Chain A
Amino acid sequence: MSSVTYDHVVKRYTADITVVKDMYVEIKDKEFMVLVGPSGCGKSTALRMLAGLESITEGEIRIGDRVVNNVAAKDRDIAMVFQSYALYPHMSVFDNMAFPLQMAHMKKPEIDKRVRSASKILGLDNFLSRKPRALSGGQRQRVALGRAIVRSPKVFLLDEPLSNLDAKLRGQTRIELQKLHRELETTFIYVTHDQVEAMTMGDRIAIMNAGILQQVGTPGEVYDHPANLFVAGFIGTPTMNFVPVTTSDSSAKASGFELKLPKAVPAGKGMLGFRPEALTDKPSDVSTLEMKVDVVERLGSDQFLYGQVGGDAVTARVDPRMKVEPGDTAKLGLDVRGLHLFDAQTETAFF
């Protein structure tokens, strides 16, 4: 149970290869923090620096008030769950979970007690004598979690722990992990490239791209108020629509429509963003888009329209009862509360 601070952390391999750039983030005690970003964005490196598997080039990482830059991995009071689970194949489930405790020279009865209570939490009681190869993917994953739990660490580090599971099991495990987080009342730091995992599990999300931390916030914040074009495009499925516009005072002109902006912005080039669900089948006189529909996807609960508004590709998520066929021109209303405008050069959000 402890907070974690990345204080202007830099990871540089050579003079021109910098994988983490000036990262500053404070992770609160007992928080479930998700580091998310595309592959190669530096999120795993950030986690491995905290774990002690990579050295820190510049800056400080603190666990609680303690600077851990030069503390050995085993003394940092952390536990890590690997993507591959990294179970010791020749040891039984019990021995796998007991291994970190044996390394800490804990007494036998205490080891036994801890392993048994962890296996009870994870439902592994009946598998303690099995070898990892005799377990299913989900069970192996739980053993990896168990090996982390027995140490009762201050911080849990999870490096894409669900990516080797099939879709159904992943959904279940996501819920189990959240329960586990509540039960253990410990700080969790979770790395993933899957924004659905990030949105559903994180108390807060830290989005990274190309080694730079883009935004830190609750799932609601990063969804409703993305700080820049990258975050806006990364979070949400289907992705946000982006339409290049020319702004003047408080109106924006795109290739297929023109609308009044809720806030005044400097005149110039911009990128207008709105999520597919900001479009409705009820055209309003304030802002109506005429969309030439190319493809219609009906999912039962939703209906996605893919098409063109002027010269720009747009996706709309509308009421499934709306009658549209490919080739139609649909009149759609745009909810101005869901509008985002980004600077064309800096890509940062005006609103």
Chain B
Amino acid sequence: MTVAAAAQPTSSATMFSPRWIADHLSRWPLHIAVIGLTAAWMVPTIGLLVSSFRPFSGQATSGWWTAFANPTTFTISNYTQVLSAGTTNLGQAFFNSFMISVPATVLPVSIGAFAAYPFAWMKFPGRNGLFLALVGLLAVPLQLTFIPVLSFYVQHLHWTTNNLEATGIPGLPWVPLWLAHAGYGLPFSIYLLANFFRALPSDLFESAEIDGAGTLTVFFRIVLPLSVPALASLVIFQFLWVWNDLLVALIYVGGTPSVAPLTVNLAGLTTSLGQGSNLLTAAAFFSMIVPLIVFLSLQRYFVRGILAGSVKG
């Protein structure tokens, strides 16, 4: 009786009866904790949003929460200034970020899938050793690779942004960055997908073998469709990481406005004396839109994919 009442408080107890009130009060600590945590996490974002609608003078002298006292000072001038092509190049940077993020996501995920399949389902000598080495690569800090990789690009391949732009081939200046991001993303990509593939039931593969499906057919028609959750979560991980990355982009393509992504552009908006920081708030909010869309549209796969990839069976 009590169990049923707790599970369905509204149906078993009449509204506002002592029982109904007790049932509802007992849930308050949980609700308060959840709402409190959510609010705490959202405060900086809300602060950023409010600040982005305040003039520079206001931002520099008082906290964002004081703005509500006289709402008349709210302005959209930060946004109009940031979005006007002449001052900040934000449109170009936005486009560059896309041009960097999409291939830098597709490459490691697709190559990772091709690599994960043999690790999971084909027998070849050295498989376990190679996989262990791969897992080891997860622990290598990527800062360690900047100097050797960059000097290889520049000294041996002569892949500087200037040289690559001079060829006139569109997209070519981003190739070093795409390859770098693919390299940094691959170990995790292969690791996650191999674990996911391995958890697929072996009967499916044997059945497909008897049905006459070759390795590639099995991969494209059975393994990939069944791995959509893992692939989606990997796409989110990688896309968010590349979109938000400043360091790797700065190192491999530099700050040339025609190729630099949003993050580099944002970092350049504000001077060391703090001028332009009003623009930064608007621009930062603007740059958040895309990750939010990607995350919200794929998040239901995200949770499922993490669970499915890490817990075997």
Q: Which residues of A contact B (CB under 8 A)?
A: 51-53, 73-74, 78-80, 82-86, 88-90, 99-100, 103-104, 147
**Contact between B210 and A52 (Cβ–Cβ < 8 Å)?**
yes
Cβ–Cβ < 8 Å partners of A74 in chain B: 209-213
Cβ–Cβ < 8 Å partners of B208 in chain A: 88, 99
**Contact between B209 and A100 (Cβ–Cβ < 8 Å)?**
no
Cβ–Cβ < 8 Å partners of A80 in chain B: 206-207, 210
Can you list 8 A-B contacts with CB-CB less than 8 angstroms, sorted by A residue number?
A: A51-B210, A80-B210, A83-B203, A84-B203, A90-B222, A99-B208, A100-B211, A104-B212
13 additional contacts (CB under 8 A) given A52-B209, A80-B206, A84-B203: A51-B210, A74-B210, A74-B211, A79-B210, A82-B207, A86-B201, A86-B204, A90-B226, A99-B211, A100-B212, A103-B212, A103-B213, A147-B211
Point out the residue from B201, B206, B226 that lies within 8 Å of A53, measured CB to CB: B206
* Distance A99 CA – B208 CA, assembled complex (angstroms): 9
Interface membership of B29, Cβ < 8 A: no
* Distance A100 CA – B207 CA, assembled complex (angstroms): 9
**Contact between A89 and B226 (Cβ–Cβ < 8 Å)?**
yes
Interface membership of B217, Cβ < 8 A: yes
Cβ–Cβ < 8 Å partners of B222 in chain A: 88, 90
Cβ–Cβ < 8 Å partners of B210 in chain A: 51-53, 73-74, 78-80, 100
Cβ–Cβ < 8 Å partners of A99 in chain B: 208, 211, 213
Q: Which residues of B contact A (CB under 8 A)?
A: 201, 203-204, 206-213, 217, 222, 225-226
**Contact between A82 and B206 (Cβ–Cβ < 8 Å)?**
yes
Point out the residue from B203, B212, B217 that lies within 8 Å of A86, measured CB to CB: B203
* Distance A73 CA – B209 CA, assembled complex (angstroms): 7
Cβ–Cβ < 8 Å partners of B226 in chain A: 89-90
* Nearest CB in chain A: distance from B175 CB, A: 35
* Nearest CB in chain A: distance from B212 CB, A: 4
Cβ–Cβ < 8 Å partners of A103 in chain B: 211-213, 217
* Distance A104 CA – B211 CA, assembled complex (angstroms): 8
Cβ–Cβ < 8 Å partners of B204 in chain A: 86, 88
Q: Closest chain A residue to B204 by CB distance?
A: A86
* Nearest CB in chain B: distance from A93 CB, A: 15
Decide yes or no: A86 and B225 within 8 Å by CB, A103-B213, A103-B217, A147-B211 being known contacts.
Answer: no
* Nearest CB in chain B: distance from A83 CB, A: 8
* Distance A82 CA – B203 CA, assembled complex (angstroms): 7
Cβ–Cβ < 8 Å partners of A78 in chain B: 210
* Distance A103 CA – B207 CA, assembled complex (angstroms): 12
* Distance A185 CA – B12 CA, assembled complex (angstroms): 62
**Contact between A86 and B207 (Cβ–Cβ < 8 Å)?**
yes
* Distance A314 CA – B211 CA, assembled complex (angstroms): 50
Cβ–Cβ < 8 Å partners of A89 in chain B: 226
Cβ–Cβ < 8 Å partners of B209 in chain A: 52-53, 73-74
Q: Closest chain A residue to B217 by CB distance?
A: A103
**Contact between B201 and A90 (Cβ–Cβ < 8 Å)?**
no
Cβ–Cβ < 8 Å partners of B217 in chain A: 103
* Distance A84 CA – B225 CA, assembled complex (angstroms): 20
* Nearest CB in chain A: distance from B305 CB, A: 15
* Distance A250 CA – B73 CA, assembled complex (angstroms): 117
* Nearest CB in chain B: distance from A251 CB, A: 55
Point out the residue from A85, A86, A100, A147 that lies within 8 Å of B206, measured CB to CB: A86
* Distance A88 CA – B206 CA, assembled complex (angstroms): 12
**Contact between A84 and B201 (Cβ–Cβ < 8 Å)?**
yes
* Nearest CB in chain A: distance from B299 CB, A: 21
Cβ–Cβ < 8 Å partners of A147 in chain B: 211
* Distance A267 CA – B201 CA, assembled complex (angstroms): 56
Cβ–Cβ < 8 Å partners of B225 in chain A: 90
Q: Closest chain A residue to B203 by CB distance?
A: A86
Q: Closest chain A residue to B222 by CB distance?
A: A88
Cβ–Cβ < 8 Å partners of A100 in chain B: 210-212
* Distance A52 CA – B211 CA, assembled complex (angstroms): 12
* Distance A291 CA – B226 CA, assembled complex (angstroms): 62
Interface centre among B204, B211, B213 (most CB of A within 10 A): B211
Q: Closest chain A residue to B225 by CB distance?
A: A90
* Distance A89 CA – B208 CA, assembled complex (angstroms): 13
Q: Closest chain B residue to A78 by CB distance?
A: B210
* Nearest CB in chain A: distance from B283 CB, A: 42
* Nearest CB in chain A: distance from B137 CB, A: 32
Q: Closest chain B residue to A153 by CB distance?
A: B210
* Nearest CB in chain B: distance from A345 CB, A: 42
* Distance A89 CA – B217 CA, assembled complex (angstroms): 16
Interface centre among B206, B210, B212, B222 (most CB of A within 10 A): B210
Q: Closest chain A residue to B228 by CB distance?
A: A90
Cβ–Cβ < 8 Å partners of B211 in chain A: 74, 99-100, 103, 147
Interface centre among A83, A90, A147 (most CB of B within 10 A): A90
* Distance A85 CA – B201 CA, assembled complex (angstroms): 11
* Nearest CB in chain B: distance from A146 CB, A: 13
Cβ–Cβ < 8 Å partners of B213 in chain A: 74, 99, 103
* Distance A88 CA – B211 CA, assembled complex (angstroms): 12
**9 nearest A-B residue pairs (beta carbon):** A74-B212, A103-B212, A86-B203, A86-B207, A100-B211, A90-B225, A82-B203, A73-B210, A84-B203
* Distance A211 CA – B226 CA, assembled complex (angstroms): 37
Cβ–Cβ < 8 Å partners of B207 in chain A: 80, 82, 86, 88
* Nearest CB in chain A: distance from B71 CB, A: 53
